[in-house]
Structure 1
Amino acid sequence: MSTQNAINWPEKYTPGTGDNFVSNEVIVAGLNAADLWHYLVDTSEWESYYDNVADISFPQGGGPELKDGSHFSFGTFGFPPLDAQVVEFQAPAPDLPGRLSWTAKQDGKPEERLDVLHAWLIEDLPGDRVRILTQETQIGAPAAALAQERPNPMLNGHQAWLDGLLRAAAK
């Protein structure tokens, strides 16, 4: 029997306590966590496999590869570029999952404020399989509005990101 790892959640972003939460997961054979990691942490790759991201920049320098504490910005889901910061970064290693989480924020009037934690977990599984889990908690009026849309744009958008990540790593 094997146990799968879970996302590490700061209390503020605990799933079910915000205004919007989605979870997407895939498990596939023939790839490993190391194959995928580069395409996830190198933001210069994102637009080549995911069409719901734009205007990626590193206002404080650095990049395009994310690392612990990286500050960056990007546009997604029709929002103006969000200010983001990596809050968890652990490259995958034998018996250790890859972990990447960032917060992303939009300031402004109360009805415009958005506060997000987007987390990724990539782990090798027995039988030459890899598991990719991505989850996001959003807080704020724009998040509450997004949660009411059908079909759910965040659920579908994150699935497109997972699918694109898999295609990029399989090349």
Structure 2
Amino acid sequence: MDIKIIPFEPKYAGRFKDLNQAWLEKFFFVEPKDVLLLRDCENSIIDKGGYIFFAEHEKSIIGCFSFIKIENDVFELGKMAVDENYQGMKIGQHLLTFAIDFAKKGGWKKIILYSSTKLDAALHIYRKYGFTEIPLEKENPYVRSDIKMELLLN
């Protein structure tokens, strides 16, 4: 399958919201923090020093992820989603490989992420790519998150 990873363009903002809303509603619910990030992703992620990328296949956007800036060299990997029709085709792994390479090229110190132990497949992939579990702060940003992971890059 030919997958191209492309950067954010405003015309894809609606697709970013739709892809994420679909998986959130399937497994959990859309939380206030999600609404903030998805309603105006350009303002809430890009304009604050973050990044959004998309997986494109035959001119269709079939996946995405974001990097939300925490510090100059620490970013949260979030809002990773793959269209349900394309799941099981290793698109998430393709996105994750790109994300890690992008972070390394940027000289970042680490990537963090919040997830849920309900998402076995996602956790398996994160561990496969070197993410390790770290303590979850009491005031974590998502109700659904019961696990926090990091990948040290340097």
TM range (shorter): 0.3 to 0.5
Larger fraction in helix? 2
Q: TM-score under structure 1 normalisation?
A: 0.32
Larger fraction in strand? 1
Q: TM-score under structure 2 normalisation?
A: 0.34
Larger radius of gyration: 1
Structure possessing the higher relative contact order (Cα contacts under 8 Å, 6 or more residues apart): 1
